[in-house]
Amino acid sequence: MGFDGAASEPQQVGADGVSATTTNPGYRAGIIGAGLIAGVHARAIRSTGGVVAAVAGADAEQSERAAREMGALRAAVDAQDVLADPDVEVVHICTPNYLHVPFALAAIAAGKHVVCEKPLAMDVAGAEQVVAAAAAAGVTGVVPFAYRFHPMVREARELVRSGRTGPIHLVHGSYLQDWLLNTTDTNWRVDPQLGGRMRAFSDIGTHLCDLIEFTSGQRIVRVLASSKIANPRRVAADGSTEVVRTEDIVTFQFELDQGALGAAVVSQVSAGRKNRLFLEVSGSRSTLAFDQELPELLWEGRRETSQLRVRDPQTLSAAALRYSRLPAGHAQGYQECFDSLVADTASAVAGTVRDGLPTFVDGLRMARVTDAVERSVATRSWVEVG
């Protein structure tokens, strides 16, 4: 399951050294969707001082429940009610994947800014259509590649940018989960009509690939991929058996545009792995390793020594400090990433785009990488990323 006036900064550090989230009183959002990720969005909106003006679920009962749980001002009649609400400035789309493009286009046509869960679209053409529409309308479009907002990911990126690692020659990683391990585990994402043809890669592999490019500063230009359906049949909620047509596992090699090589593994059937996103970047002088299940740490290895860097506001680079919301030793994680994402979205809506905000263009980028992986799986050959 993948888990995608404004303030000038996502956080401020007071005299006591404690980071305090600034408020965004002008950020008034409507949420379409009422599942787990919609709740994450709602908490992030409120944490930055925004307001959840309306929320629409699949039906009236779900909308009412979601409005209570998310602290929304009201339960919307339906998605169109959210889109037509003059009190909604930004629409957060947290629906099954097949609805992303139509709702995003409708929100843009209504003059709203949009935060759309990934994947932005189920194919490249759909992603291109949304990017073009947002650009023509002059609205902000964001895709929640939220792992970018871990302070130690920003620290790794700055260490690469500064030249401390030396030129990057190897990047590798994995994103492993087990929530679809058993044949009795199922979800709408398994259905290609609802989730898309590439399930595991589109759902979590794109998070990994986005971090690969974001941290290394290089772009994936060609891939060689294989996939596997570990559970050819799954038991549906009604007890019937369904044939599975979307992959559980993807392994792939890749080449980057500045000459680095890489390899990665994506799995939603790795027993015991709940949400293990791991990335390692190796340069000529040092290697950096980040594990999002241990987000307070960044390992740096050099020929002569190794060290664990910790999230400490006293030692972080300025780029990482911006997203360090709590004092050292007070662990922050995934929800704080989303809080920072929404804070930077609010800033963009107000006219100031922060470095590293994942936009619709980044969503299109990952649609193209997904397309290349799919074509490589089908042809069993190296494929250029469009």
- The tens digit of pLDDT for each residue in 290-318 reads 999 999 999 999 999 999 999 999 999 99
133-162 average pLDDT score? 98
What are the extents of the domains in the chain?
A: 11-145, 147-331+360-384
> Thinking of the domain 11-145, which architecture would CATH place it in?
3-Layer(aba) Sandwich (3.40)
pLDDT for the residue numbered 368: 98
Cβ atoms of 139 and 260 closer than 8 Å: no
In this predicted structure, the answer to whether residue 11 has a pLDDT above a threshold of 60 is no
Q: What torsion, rounded to 10 degrees, do the Cα atoms 279, 174, 363, 382 define?
A: 110
Closest alpha carbon to 198 in 99, 101, 266, 141:
266
Looking at the domain that runs over 147-331+360-384, which CATH code has it been given?
A: 3.30.360.10
- 345/333 Cα distance (integer angstroms): 19
pLDDT for the residue numbered 298: 98
Amino acid at 227: S
Q: pLDDT by residue (tens digit) across 332-362?
A: 999 999 999 999 999 999 999 999 999 999 9
DSSP 134-156: HHHHT--EE---GGGG-HHHHHH
Closest alpha carbon to 33 in 60, 58, 4, 69:
58
In this predicted structure, the answer to whether residue 7 has a pLDDT above a threshold of 80 is no
pLDDT for the residue numbered 9: 35
- Identify how many contiguous H helices and E strands the chain contains and give both numbers: 12, 18
Confidence of residue 371 (pLDDT cuts 50, 70, 90): very high
Edge-first strand order for the sheet with 141-142 is 51-56, 28-32, 90-93, 113-116, 141-142
99-118 average pLDDT score? 98
